[in-house]
Chain A
Amino acid sequence: MLFLKECRKILFSFPFVLYFIATAAMYFTQFDSDCDEPLQKPVEGMESYGMTVKEIPELVMNGAAESLVEEYLAGSYQTYPYGFLKNVRLKEKDRTRMAQIIEELTGITKEELEASEEYGEVKLSKEMTYENFKERMQEADRILGGGSRYSGNFLLQFSRVPKTYEDAMEEYEQFRQRDGITGAYARLYCDYLGIVLSILPVFPAVFLAGMDERTRMEPLVYCRKILPLKLVFTRYSALIAVLHLPVVFTAVLAHIRVLGLYPGAEVKPFAIFLYALLWLSPNILTAAAVGMLSTELFSGFAGILVQGVWWFFSVMAGTQGLTGMIGRFTLVMRHNNLLGSEIFEAEWETVLFNRVFFTVFSLAAVGVTAVVFEAKRRGRYHGFSFSHGGKNPRRQSEP
């Protein structure tokens, strides 16, 4: 009963209409435009089948060592700690340690290294194992403050090789068989929609959470006997249900679009819907929870700012790699590729951890929202307004 009434409040609101339009726009301008042609089966004898990343230890180690020497000599290292390019210059102590790492990798001493501005071919020490190498790279990355080319998965970027016909065929078969076509499109669909669904839900959430205060309905709601947890969770559930409508709408469209591209092909009928539920729902849950909690805490439109900053950094972090860009705490997961299901599958545990983490985080945030709601209801907390020196002007108590 209350759930339906709350749904209605959101459904006919201006922010929800905008949310729906913006989500649909993302679908049509990005995903739909990527579905103009079906993925072609590789033909033997083609000049190129593109490049692929393969973990070939020799390539990884040589490429990374060469890059490290180059950056050492340049005295500047490129890192992307929050998705933004940062040129790191090391202090003498760290510089010396970096030289030691290079020496451990290549046998080149600091003095030899600094004797000339350029160093020719870099050869790795014969004793250097791949495991030892990765440990040194971890340390180098730590010295650089994280986000360098020598961290985790980014090391693999040193090992890009041209695809063979067999590689291309194997990928294509994975696309047809393991992904059942729709599975691959589901990842692409979630990649695009995930960007907007990590920020847009905050608008209807802030609208709903601030509605009582804006319309001066608060005292009438506050003096009812409903429990805070029941009211806040019902409102949140209604919000989440309504916010999923454009997801259902675009998922159906995406499914139909993919069926149209591959007439008669055998596809996984629920792949897009399942991916949407697992991948996109936690994004919606999170943005909506942050919107509700921030509005309850700070009043006004602070929730949009809070979520906006988080979203911005998360999206920027994704610019390092659009394929398989999945971290344990990455809000906006990226996999902007129809192929590469093996990369995604290799990260499956991380994906699960990530999505469960954001779901639990959201529910906890809503729980805190209920606590803040009750504190405001009992006159123990009056909201914090940044623009009024911490005091909420609408809640100044009058004797």
Chain B
Amino acid sequence: MVKTAEKKLTRPVINVLECKGCGRCIIACPKDVLEMSSELNERGYHFVKYKGSGCIGCGNCYYSCPEPLALEVHIVENDKEQK
């Protein structure tokens, strides 16, 4: 199958402005695909970034995030077959 554009893959979507940088999602991620930024967001917090690949869509980051609307996981069906 043709390689899909990166944004179409299963991935976490992070609302940078709402992230307070607690790091709970980084610990919860089984694939270690999240990392803390070195820069600050507009509100003065470090924020979590997706390393860009490797997300399996387990939802651990969403459920461990204390901010209800700071993080969501987009799961692309048939993703496995694409790989």
* A and B physically associate: no
Give B contacts to A, CB under 8 Å.
none
Residues of A within 8 A of B (CB): none
